[in-house]
Chain A
């Protein structure tokens, strides 16, 4: 790939980083700034000092996220200038985006995302033996609008876990499941969703010892990373996460208070089918199906879509005929959160340009004038589930292409 294309990819990312603002990045930067003051248990600190803090949100991520982002901020602090701390503490909705240094703050705060993004591109380059295919994967990662927006507009710190799952997947490809388990464990310590990969690592392991290790290693890493911070503050803030509650929510009643949880139902079928009947286990196919089930049957945050992105890139390189189906899936998936009533999914991203945009209605409100916006979300989500089923079917049908 020509160097000028890599420069173009970087410029696009820096532009999105500096011009689009999702408030989460400032909240996380404010919370992780306490590491510079020597605070190690952020969960207790935020709850105990809530009355004196200008931003009162709880820290909803795991400790490893706090230490990673906090350490980076400590290193970057000298480059951020004197006004940075007061910007972090500023709770004014308008003054935050009217600060002339906001471009610089956002670019510096999002720089680790750029580094990880490029590392993922290089890992995808290494994934294929065929030079042409690896080149395609590299380019498709760097030049697809979905990941650029998902990472830089929404300041997506899920990228830490995504990078670790991609490294794990490279080890899986090299049949090094123990090393893969270590990286899956680290990924879980950043984001709980990676835990869903563990049962599939287990079934793909060759012998009892390896099977045990693929369970014990990731769980141990996860548990060890949490133990020092275990408290009611931690449980309430971070452990009862959106995922752990939302994955159980889509269900239908079967009477007498019982309900059928669709996600668990489908994941059980997938797991048992693989464990019992798959002769040659293909973890790419399983990881993709697992995440397709998750997105099809849960009310997801737009950031979560990044979890599946590298796997979809690998999938369409291996099965080029799926590219339009995957594109359609991505389009539908990104569209759903656009219809949430949350302003920061759409118009608020542009508040750096002008706070006058606050006067504009979000798509949710616009749709509300003609139709039920939840109905629109449901229609798109149902279509997404339909496309997910089709992708799953195509993956089973063309299995040899995925090996």
Chain B
């Protein structure tokens, strides 16, 4: 019994520490390019009716497949359509996603997922966020932050400003194996630091 028990427990613990993270890594469908920046002191802007929000950003990696940011839906009043249009730097509309305010809580981190853009690395894009049917008391709000090497500038009320929404870009992994490798490299780099 003793040897069996020792072998079983040792195998189980090593499985948990070495294999389970690999299984988890292989299940990851998208990888964030960075951590979400803080909201800074830029406040927020309201989106409703003709008041739309346009954000220019650079995708640092290839396979851009989602953009995430924090959206406020005060008192959960917005239950209208929210339209997300993504354009390339030549103003071509390349992706459209329709959301509904009904599914957005007040202050939720919302991930807008679309078909991956394979050659997105180091390319500039912009997206427009609008809730055309929403009235003034059905606003959604987008937070603002300082510019980074990803978050370039935004347009609101026909005015261009530096910085913009604290967005995170998500990218489809090249392969499961590569994701597993990156997870273990991350662990190793911390261990050896």
Is B183 a contact of A353 with CB atoms below 8 Å? yes
Query: Within B1-32, which residues are at the interface with A (CB < 8 Å)?
Result: 1-2, 5-6, 8-10, 12-13, 16-17, 20-21, 24-25, 27-32
Tell me which residues across on chain B come within 8 A of A102, comparing CB atoms.
190
A359 in the interface, Cβ–Cβ < 8 Å? Answer: yes
Query: Within A132-159, which residues are at the interface with B (CB < 8 Å)?
Result: 136, 139-140, 143-145, 148-149
- Name the distance in Å between A94's Cβ and chain B's nearest Cβ: 5
A382 in the interface, Cβ–Cβ < 8 Å? Answer: no
- Name the distance in Å between B190's Cβ and chain A's nearest Cβ: 5
> Could you say which interface size class chain A belongs to?
20 to 34
Distance between Cα atoms of A352 and B24 in the complex (Å)? 13
A224 in the interface, Cβ–Cβ < 8 Å? Answer: no
Distance between Cα atoms of A353 and B190 in the complex (Å)? 9
Distance between Cα atoms of A357 and B183 in the complex (Å)? 10
Is A360 a contact of B193 with CB atoms below 8 Å? no
Is A356 a contact of B27 with CB atoms below 8 Å? no
Take A103-B191, A143-B5, A354-B25 as given contacts and tell me if A8 and B186 are in contact as well, using a CB distance cutoff of 8 Å: no
- Name the distance in Å between B44's Cβ and chain A's nearest Cβ: 21
Is A136 a contact of B9 with CB atoms below 8 Å? no
Is B187 a contact of A352 with CB atoms below 8 Å? yes
Is B13 a contact of A356 with CB atoms below 8 Å? no
Number of interface residues of B (CB under 8 A): 31
Is A359 a contact of B9 with CB atoms below 8 Å? no
> From DSSP, what is the main secondary structure of chain A's interface residues?
helix
Is B10 a contact of A100 with CB atoms below 8 Å? no
Choose among B10, B28, B187 the residue that contacts A360 (Cβ–Cβ < 8 A): B28
Is A354 a contact of B6 with CB atoms below 8 Å? no
Is B9 a contact of A143 with CB atoms below 8 Å? yes
Is A98 a contact of B190 with CB atoms below 8 Å? yes
The stretch from A11-19, A202-210, A268-276, A391-399 touching chain B is A11-19
B35 in the interface, Cβ–Cβ < 8 Å? Answer: yes
Interface residues, chain B, with chain A CB atoms under 8 Å away: 1-2, 5-6, 8-10, 12-13, 16-17, 20-21, 24-25, 27-32, 35, 179, 182-184, 186-187, 190-191, 193
Interface residues, chain A, with chain B CB atoms under 8 Å away: 5, 8, 12, 15-16, 19-20, 94, 98, 100, 102-103, 136, 139-140, 143-145, 148-149, 347, 350, 352-357, 359-360
Known: A102-B190, A145-B8, A354-B25. 6 other contacts (CB 8 A): A8-B10, A12-B9, A94-B35, A353-B186, A354-B182, A356-B32
Pairs across A and B, CB under 8 Å, 15 listed: A12-B9, A15-B17, A94-B35, A98-B190, A100-B193, A143-B8, A143-B10, A144-B9, A353-B183, A353-B187, A355-B35, A356-B31, A356-B183, A357-B28, A359-B32
Closest 10 CB pairs of A and B: A100-B193, A143-B9, A145-B12, A353-B21, A354-B183, A100-B190, A12-B13, A143-B5, A353-B187, A145-B9
